[in-house]
Amino acid sequence: MGINIALDGPSGAGKSTISKIIAKKLGYIYVDTGAMYRSIALFAMDKGVSTTSAQQIIPLLKDIEIELKYVDDVQHIFLNNEDVSEKIRQNEVSMHASNVSAIKEVREFLFNLQRDMAKKNNIIMDGRDIGTVVLPDADVKIYLTASADDRAKRRYNELLEKGQAVSYDDLLNQINERDFNDTNREIAPLKQADDAVLVDTTGFELQKSVEVIYSIICDKINNTNKVNDKKKSLSPLRILFYQIIRGLVILVYSIAFNLKVVGKENIPKKGGNIVASNHRTYQDPILLSFPVKIPFSYMAKEELFKNKAFSALIKAFGAFPVRRGSGDMAVIDESVKRLNKGYNLIIFPEGTRSMDGTVGKGKTGVALIAAMAQVPVIPVGISFRGKLKFRSKIVINFGKPILPQELEIKSQSPKELKVLKLKIMQSITDLVDLNV
């Protein structure tokens, strides 16, 4: 599960603007829930339907498809494949959005979509009930507010800059009306979560508001990471057992082969990393394990677990079964689970061994796990000539960790996973030396 930041507050408090800026600074996905409600309101308005009538709105939901997409690094919202990012910002749409958001079925319609995005990604989500209803277990909760007068002035200046003729008094009345509607509606009313940090930005310039909220988020995330690090720590007994076996493996393999480890500074000192390597031999998991002091876990083909004695042995060293070509999500979930426990996870993206050392295209499974777990990916190249034999020279080259924010994961679409997979495979290829 990713890190979730919930930013709630009344209309015009600057939630969307601030969330976008901070999401970019952190490399997180920004989820504009208000835009989702506005899209439904826009659809209803185009159909000539009353936005206060649940009876008229509910039948429309089956014809609505909402998507968040990034266009030139800017998030756009698409309603039934039409980019409505500008249309939904009209002042009239804002008022109707408040009406449809009070309808229980509309909130349920969007609820699963919002929760699913939060489960799979590091996100900042803003709205009216994010910290209280949508993400009650969010890592960071902030309630952002400002005086009605201050919010009306900001909105007035914003619309004037866009060339729209507006009345300040009308805007102030609309904000007061929406505040009343949002705080008094029966379904998920606007209120501050008990564990949310209150931030009043009355009189603040945008930059100061961003700095205050960014500082709060960073402090909270750092504390969360400290807790997660403790959760990810394997038991001392497990590590001791691994170190004893590792010492024996180093001794045997140092005698059997001419081993050289490159990039020792990149070898992870803590667990919870994906180690993505090219695949040369069945002994690759051992070759990758001996330079690393934290126990590994890795996938092994299902057939290897048929023999009970051998199955018990490889399970003791972190192996778990995978059925080739099945695309089994249970394996993905198990991989993420082991990363969260503090194991390093070995993945061979090629899926099969390369006899001549050339690196294959790889599969997107490594990208999906990286996207879901939000952990560093350490690329590794294993190099040796011909077939592995006694006293063969083997070079194990650990590359620089690719951090989650460097992977720029914005979704888990097939297209984006393919791009991520290509980046990982290129990093592995760069570390393989065919002339060893």
Tell me whether residue 279 is in a domain: yes
CATH code assigned at 130: 3.40.50.300
pTM of the predicted structure, to 2 decimals:
0.50
Same domain for 247 and 180: no
Q: Report yes or no on 319 lying in a domain.
A: yes
Look-up: residue for tokens 């590359």?
A: 399
d(Cα 66, Cα 71) in Å, to the nearest integer? 15
- Determine contact, residues 380/398, Cβ cutoff 8 Å: yes
Cβ burial 192-206 (10 Å sphere, 16+ → b, else e): bbeebbebebeebee
One domain for residues 324 and 364: yes
Residues 226 and 245 placed together within one structural domain of the fold: no
Per-residue model confidence (pLDDT) at position 383: 95
The one-letter code for the residue type at 202 is T
For residue 229, pLDDT over 70 is answered with: no
CA atoms within 13 A on the CB side of 177: 12
**What value does the mean pLDDT take over residues 354-364?**
88
Tell me the pLDDT tens digit for each residue of 289-336: 888 888 888 888 788 888 888 888 778 777 888 776 545 567 777 888
Residue 436: inside a domain: no
Are 213 and 258 found together in one domain?
no
Residue 318 lies in a domain: yes
Task: For residue 277, tell me if it sits in a domain.
Answer: yes
Give the pair of three-digit tokens for residue 341.
């426990």
pLDDT over 50 at 218, yes or no:
yes
The band of 341, judged by pLDDT with boundaries at 50, 70 and 90, is confident
Per-residue pLDDT, averaged over 273-282, amounts to 93
Output the pLDDT for position 435: 85
Q: Is there a single domain that holds both residue 79 and residue 172?
A: yes
The Cα–Cα gap between 366 and 276 comes to: 8
Average pLDDT score over residue span 387-405: 89
Q: What percent of the chain has a predicted confidence (pLDDT) above 70?
A: 92
Contact indicator for 291, 264 with CB cutoff of 8 Å: yes
* Mean pLDDT confidence for 79-98: 89
Give the phi and the psi of residue 353 in degrees, each rounded to 5. -75, 150
Map residue 166 onto helix, strand or coil: coil
Residues 214 and 117 in one domain: yes
Domain end marker among 204, 231, 258: 231
Which of 231, 249, 281 finishes a domain?
231
Q: Are residues 205 and 244 located together in one domain of the fold?
A: no
Q: Kindly report the average pLDDT of the chain as a whole number.
A: 86
State whether 160 and 55 are in the same domain. Answer: yes
198-207: average pLDDT: 93
Name the pLDDT band for 175 (thresholds 50, 70, 90): very high
Do 277 and 170 share a structural domain? Answer: no
Which letter does DSSP use for residue 235 in this model? P
| Residues 198 and 251 grouped into a single domain | no
Task: Name the more confident of 222 and 151.
Answer: 151
Question: Residue 31: which domain range?
Answer: 4-231
CB 155 within 8 A of CB 164: no
In this predicted structure, what is the pLDDT of residue 268?
83
DSSP string over 7-65:
EE--TTSSHHHHHHHHHHHHTPEEEEHHHHHHHHHHHHHHTT--TT-HHHHGGGGGG--
State the sign of the Cα–Cα–Cα–Cα dihedral 286, 338, 329, 73. negative
49 domain residue, yes or no: yes
> What pLDDT, on a 0 to 100 scale, did the predictor assign at position 74?
72
| pLDDT, greater one: 230 or 118 | 118
Beta bridge pairs of residue 402: 377
Tokens of 354: 């390369």
Tell me which of 70 and 263 has the higher pLDDT: 263
Q: Does residue 329 sit within a domain?
A: yes
Say how far apart CA 97 and CA 102 lie, in whole Å.
9
Residues 143 and 21 in one domain: yes
The mean pLDDT of 39-60, rounded to a whole number, is 94
* Count of structural domains within the chain: 2
The answer to whether residues 203 and 257 belong to one domain is: no
**Which CATH number is 277's domain given?**
3.40.1130.10
155-162: long-range pairs with CB below 8 Å, 24+: 155/12, 159/91
Residue at which a domain ends, from 231, 253, 288: 231
| Assigned domain for 191 exists | yes
Q: Cα(166)–Cα(143) distance, rounded to whole angstroms?
A: 28
